[in-house]
């Protein structure tokens, strides 16, 4: 943990006394800017000279994710290193463990609070072991120092995430209920899911942002490049009622992407929409066009906005560098819900940014 610098204790104490440290504040509704900032990714494992004759990464080469994001007054900055799992071509023996290494600092108005640290091992089944298995000396955790009325703590991540590319999902049909008694559907014919299995997001960076357990799938459609979910459940500690996230993250490619490397994800994620939807019996009209499935609805609790990409591409169109700019807005969401999603996005930062 980074030590306090001399002369900053009084200032930091004053700042921490002003933090929204009550449960009521964490549950306060937010409408407007929610998550912003950048992630700069250098895919060292794809750069010529770092690969073998078949284009596979050499041992010891890692991709670098430089993170600088914020949710309101709380920011997170630092790096994530991603090392691929390498297996011997002849014997199939593992010669390098796959892993993610997190070294991120939390801040409040540019004042250091603590860290997100630790190593996540990936195994031969495509599982990301957030429970610390594989490297017990570097368990994934959030550790916060004691200053002012913020009590220090260390809390650990738990559970498993199965990454994109680990399992084929076949085809899947997704249904969205619209106002006016209509139904929009979307069929993904070549799916590649990320699967969250009792994945617990550690609490922090304030004590009121408690642990959240995640279950469900975020499904990648290889044909369109979009992500879709019919339900990811995020259950806060002590609650019997999860927040259910539904909706889509649609990929829109710039017409000149081959030359400018640009594209963007358009967010249309909704929180607990089934709690405010009319009953199934009211949906008797026929299905409408596929475009309506992705239409953004900012009237419901959820996240909208864009995640923009500006990539440097190889002649084959593979990114070797990405500047990712997040600009997400909330509609009637709690601060704790926004913080949980920010953590979840960083948990999945590897698969989410693979092509």
Instruction: Give 10-residue mean pLDDT values along the chain (355 residues).
Output: 44 47 67 97 93 85 97 97 90 89 94 96 93 91 88 96 79 82 85 95 95 96 92 95 95 96 96 69 53 83 97 92 98 96 97 88
pLDDT digits (tens, 9 = 90+) for 292-332: 888 888 888 999 999 999 999 998 889 999 999 999 999 99
Catalogue the E-assigned strands of the chain: 29-42, 63-71, 74-83, 86-87, 94-96, 98-108, 111-122, 127-129, 141-144, 153-156, 158-162, 170-177, 183-201, 212-221, 227-236, 243-253, 262-271, 287-288, 302-313, 319-334
CA pair distance 109, 191, nearest whole angstrom: 41
pLDDT digits (tens, 9 = 90+) for 8-48: 444 444 444 445 455 666 667 899 999 999 999 999 999 98
CA pair distance 101, 309, nearest whole angstrom: 23
Q: Note if the pTM is more than 0.85.
A: yes
CB 352 within 8 A of CB 322: no
Output the pLDDT for position 11.
45
pLDDT digits (tens, 9 = 90+) for 220-239: 999 999 999 989 999 999 99
Reference 163, options 187, 195, 189; nearest CA is 195
Q: Is 274 helix (H, G, I), strand (E, B) or coil?
A: helix
Report CA-CA distances (Å) from 134 to 98, 121, 138, 161.
10, 6, 9, 15
Output the pLDDT for position 297.
80
Reference 98, options 63, 53, 55; nearest CA is 63
Output the pLDDT for position 288.
60
**Burial (CB count within 10 angstroms: exposed 0-12, middle 13-18, buried 19+), residue 330:** buried
Output the pLDDT for position 118.
97
Output the pLDDT for position 286.
54
């Amino acid at each position: 943990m980074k030590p306090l610098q001399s002369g900053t204790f009084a200032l930091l104490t004053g700042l921490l006394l002003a933090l929204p440290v009550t449960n009521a504040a964490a549950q306060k509704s937010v409408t407007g800017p929610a998550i912003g900032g950048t992630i700069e990714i250098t895919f060292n494992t794809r750069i010529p000279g770092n690969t073998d004759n078949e284009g596979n990464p050499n041992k010891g080469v890692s991709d670098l994710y430089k993170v600088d994001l914020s949710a309101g007054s709380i920011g997170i900055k630092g790096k994530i290193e991603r090392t691929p799992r390498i297996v011997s071509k002849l014997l199939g023996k593992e010669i390098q463990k796959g892993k993610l290494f997190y070294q991120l600092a939390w801040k409040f108005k540019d004042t250091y609070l603590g860290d997100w640290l630790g190593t996540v091992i990936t195994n031969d089944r495509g599982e990301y072991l957030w429970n610390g298995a594989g490297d017990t000396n570097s368990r994934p955790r959030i550790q916060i120092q004691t200053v002012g009325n913020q009590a220090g703590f260390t809390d650990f991540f738990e559970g498993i995430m199965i990454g994109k590319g680990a399992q084929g999902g076949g085809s899947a049909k997704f249904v969205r209920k619209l106002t006016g008694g209509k139904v929009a559907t979307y069929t993904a014919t070549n799916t590649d899911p990320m699967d969250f299995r009792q994945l617990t997001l550690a609490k922090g960076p304030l004590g009121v942002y408690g642990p959240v357990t995640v279950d469900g799938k975020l499904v990648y459609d290889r044909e369109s490049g979009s992500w879709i979910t019919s339900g990811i459940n995020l259950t806060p500690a002590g609650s019997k009622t999860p927040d259910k996230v539904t909706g889509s993250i649609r990929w829109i490619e710039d017409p000149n992407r081959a030359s400018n490397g640009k594209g963007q994800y358009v967010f249309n994620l909704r929180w607990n929409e089934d709690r405010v939807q009319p009953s199934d019996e009211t949906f008797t009209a026929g299905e409408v066009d596929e475009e309506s499935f992705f239409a953004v609805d900012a009237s419901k609790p959820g996240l909208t906005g864009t995640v923009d990409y500006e990539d440097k591409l190889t002649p084959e169109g593979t990114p070797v560098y990405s500047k990712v700019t997040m600009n997400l807005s909330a509609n009637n969401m709690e601060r704790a819900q926004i913080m949980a999603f920010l953590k979840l996005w960083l948990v999945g930062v590897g698969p989410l940014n693979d092509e």
